[in-house]
Homo-oligomer: A and B are copies of this chain.
């Protein structure tokens, strides 16, 4: 899984019907010091996360195990809102 931050939204009216009603968010993976990386992923929200919140992202086939995503063509899902990250670097 990856730590990311929600930075945007996508609207697509012409889409796979199983995506209807799903919230597509743009998230940026974060570095361990909390700064943004330059990459991004479009992930479906499954936990009601808010804008700019730090979230936990799952990728690949496991995204379809997220709540409500069975048989939905998604490869990335937000599965948690992160309260604290505790890292001890050497």
Contact = CB atoms under 8 A, between A and B. Distances in A.
Contacts of A71: 65
Q: How many copies, total?
A: 5
Nearest to A71: B65
A8 to B, nearest CB: 3
Contact of A79 (B26, B49, B58, B73): B73
B88 A24 contact: no
Given A11-B82, A26-B87, A1 B58 contact: no
A84 B41 contact: no
A49 B11 CA distance: 15
Interface of A: 1-3, 7-19, 24, 26, 32, 36, 40-44, 46-49, 51, 56, 58-67, 71-77, 79-90
